[in-house]
Amino acid sequence: EVVLTQSPDFQSVTPKEKVTITCRASQSIGSSLHWYQQKPDQSPKLLIKYASQSFSGVPSRFSGSGSGTDFTLTIKSLEAEDAATYYCHQSTSLPYTFGQGTKLEIK
């Protein structure tokens, strides 16, 4: 099973700040790494697929990079509405697995 470890677990940030969330895989997964945003009491929403492909309708301030075992989600200029928990997810091998989540709090 591929274990995904996100860092940090929690971050308190100010609006307009640049945010970086990392996801490390326990083995190489190529580019089959996806990012989701989940706000309280809502379903997850896809932000980035296959490491760096932006999903339709997602604001351009969200971007992804990486391959192999190390991946990054970047929020270029944080907005108040970005307060949420962010998850990475790998689809290279079964079972599909998710990272433990990174909670972003807006100061």
Partner 1 sequence: EVQLVESGGGLVQPGGSLRLSCAASGFTFSSYWMSWVRQAPGKGLEWVANIKEDGSKSYYVDSVKGRFAISRDNAKNSLYLQMNSLRAEDTAVYYCARGIIVVSYSGFAFDIWGQGTTVTVSS
Applying CB under 8 A, does 37 fall inside the site for partner 1? no
Residue 15 CB, shortest distance to partner 1, in Å, is: 26
Applying CB under 8 A, does 58 fall inside the site for partner 1? no
Which of these, 45, 27, 21, 10, lies nearest to 97 by C-alpha position? 27
Query: How many other CB atoms are found less than 10 A from the CB of residue 57?
Result: 7
Using the rule CB under 8 A, which residue among 44, 54, 61, 69 binds partner 1?
Answer: 44
Q: Which is nearer to partner 1, 24 or 101 (CB)?
A: 101
Applying CB under 8 A, does 96 fall inside the site for partner 1? yes
The answer to whether residues 98 and 91 touch, using CB atoms and an 8 Å cutoff, is no
